[in-house]
Structure 1
Amino acid sequence: MFNLNIIHSCVYSGVYGLVNINISSFDVVLSYVITIIVSIIFALILRVPLLPNKPYMYSFDVSALYPTPIIAMGILSLFFVLGYTFIYNGIVLSVVIGIVTSLFVKYLFYEVFPKPLQNDGEEAS
């Protein structure tokens, strides 16, 4: 029903855009983990709250857990798909992306993605 060998061969043959990666799967996973950890820690150093305000479901506040590591992983995957890993198999690149992403979330996130308007015309808090 679901053959993993076909998916494995498709991924390594470039069907999903991963043909340009010249590093091992372990290095890719390690780079993602480092990006997540660095972005969360550096966001906490910049005093971004760990969790958004309650209620979490309707909160449009940024936090260290969301969207900081999600944006960092997306940017890192763009670099990997383009085949750019920098030095040390992408580890230095993952640290730099984690720091830049946390700076982006702290200072520029609401400039790029403004909060939605409420019913009375004011921004959501």
Structure 2
Amino acid sequence: MFDLVFNTLFFASYSNAFGLANISLSPSDILLAYIVAIVVSIVVALVLRIPLLPSKPIRYSFDVSAIYPTPIIAMGIFSIFLVLDYTFMYNGMVLAVAVGIISALFVKYLFDFVFPKPLNGDEGEDI
């Protein structure tokens, strides 16, 4: 994961691969935008009443929480935008806030439909 973040930082900081960008972002701007996306996603998840931590036992829990997978999804979506060299306004800060909000809404309302929970070992399938 850190290799992806490292490559994204330096790929997006040099300029667009297609030569279409006239503004390049510094690695500190990109890192700040990642931090904004993570913080916004956690705060919006807590406002939407997603629990901070999953239920006990945490190791075998498939419950969503504000700590996992909300910021991970925000980082992934934001990385896709950076690799495509779409940063919108204010060096990607507006996009980071939008991605943080959208990722929290996705985890709250659509995550269980896209990634269903596995069946328990003692439960069988409906026949």
TM-score bracket relative to the smaller structure: 0.7 to 0.9
Instruction: Compute the RMSD of aligned alpha carbons.
Output: 2.1
Pick the aligned partner of 1:36 from 35, 38, 41: 38
Pick the aligned partner of 2:51 from 33, 42, 49: 49
Q: Is the 8 A contact 1:20 1:83 kept in 2?
A: yes
Amino acid at match of 2:16: N
For residues 59 and 15 of structure 2, the distance between their equivalents in structure 1, rounded to whole angstroms, comes to 38
Gaps of 5+ in 2: 1-5, 18-23
Amino acid at match of 2:61: S
Amino acid at match of 1:121: G
- Quote how far apart the aligned CAs of 1:89 are: 0.5
Runs of at least 4 residues of structure 1 off by over 6 A?
none
- Quote how far apart the aligned CAs of 1:87 are: 0.5
- Normalised by the size of structure 2, how large is the TM-score? 0.80
Task: Give 1:76's aligned residue.
Answer: 78
Gaps of 5+ in 1: 1-7
Q: Is the 8 A contact 1:20 1:80 kept in 2?
A: no
Percentage identity across paired residues of the two chains: 60
Amino acid at match of 1:20: N
Aligned residues: 110
- Normalised by the size of structure 1, how large is the TM-score? 0.81
Q: Does the alignment pair 1:121 with 2:124?
A: yes
- Quote how far apart the aligned CAs of 1:121 are: 2.5
Task: Give 2:101's aligned residue.
Answer: 99
For residues 93 and 102 of structure 1, the distance between their equivalents in structure 2, rounded to whole angstroms, comes to 14
Structure 2 counterpart SS, 1:62: coil
Structure 1 counterpart SS, 2:94: helix
- Quote how far apart the aligned CAs of 1:118 are: 1.4
Task: Give 1:20's aligned residue.
Answer: 16
For residues 78 and 65 of structure 1, the distance between their equivalents in structure 2, rounded to whole angstroms, comes to 21
Task: Give 1:58's aligned residue.
Answer: 60
